[in-house]
Amino acid sequence: MEPLLKVENIKKTYGKSSAAYTALENISFDIHEGEFVGHASAAPLPDMRLLLD
């Protein structure tokens, strides 16, 4: 079955140049029909922006 959402190779870096910090690198996942996706964060908007930026 094909996934409803397929995310591949997410990378999120904060800062620039020598002060840069990589928080996520090479993160991939699939979401299939019927799967529950939970979110545990005090700041949901910045987390979802990883997928939208």
Give residue-wise pLDDT tens across range 5-18: 998 998 888 888 88
Identify whether 36 is part of a domain.
no
Identify whether 49 is part of a domain.
yes
Q: Between these two residues, 47 and 8, which has the higher pLDDT value?
A: 8
Identify whether 48 is part of a domain.
yes
Report CA-CA distances (Å) from 9 to 17, 26, 51: 21, 4, 11
For 1, the domain range is 1-13+26-31+42-53
Identify whether 2 is part of a domain.
yes
Listed in sequence order, the DSSP H helices in 1-53 are: 44-52
What total number of domains does the chain contain?
A: 1
Using pLDDT thresholds of 50, 70 and 90, give the confidence band for residue 24.
Answer: confident
Identify whether 52 is part of a domain.
yes
Identify whether 6 is part of a domain.
yes
What is this structure's pTM? Answer: 0.59
Identify whether 21 is part of a domain.
no
Identify whether 47 is part of a domain.
yes
